[in-house]
């Protein structure tokens, strides 16, 4: 069983690296689908990283149509999973763009 898990993690890592490569080459449709697959079906730590990249695709309409609701959902999930400090700062700024101002004021 452990061997199968290791093989799955290696496959996820290869797919993730390919998705980054596709993104850098502006092949956004391919990178979007790879990140979506990893975020949906992977049990590895890469799932959360894939959600971050999915949010970027949805925010700017890379390889898919823009979807502010999904952007907020994915960035929130990444933020809630306590990723690196840099990502937390970046995500906090982005979330402030997607949360209505009156909702922020009600919660302070």
**pTM of the entire predicted model:** 0.75
Closest CA to 70 of 55, 85, 50: 55
| Residue 108: per-residue pLDDT | 45
Go through the chain and tell me how many residues it has.
108
In sequence order, which residues have a C-beta less than 8 Å from that of residue 57 and are 6 or more positions away? 28, 31, 32, 35, 63, 64
In the block, which residue shows the tokens 């695709």? 57
**pLDDT at position 107:** 46
- Give the pLDDT confidence of 61-70 residue by residue, as tens digits: 999 999 999 9
What architecture does CATH give domain 2-106? Alpha Horseshoe (1.25)
**Burial status of residue 18 (CB atoms within 10 A of its CB: 0-12, 13-18, 19 or more):** middle
pLDDT of residue 88: 63
Stretches in the chain below the pLDDT threshold 50: 103-108
Q: Where are the domains of the chain?
A: 2-106
């Amino acid at each position: 069983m452990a061997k199968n898990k290791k093989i799955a993690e290696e496959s996820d890592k290869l797919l993730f690296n390919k998705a980054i490569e596709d993104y850098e080459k502006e092949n956004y449709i391919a990178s979007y689908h790879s990140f979506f697959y990893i975020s949906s079906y992977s049990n590895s730590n890469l799932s959360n990283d894939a959600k971050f990249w999915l949010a970027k695709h949805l925010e700017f309409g890379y390889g898919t149509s823009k979807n502010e609701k999904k952007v907020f959902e994915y960035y929130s999930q990444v933020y809630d999973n306590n990723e690196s400090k840099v990502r937390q700062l970046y995500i906090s700024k982005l979330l402030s763009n997607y949360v209505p101002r009156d909702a922020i004021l009600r919660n302070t």
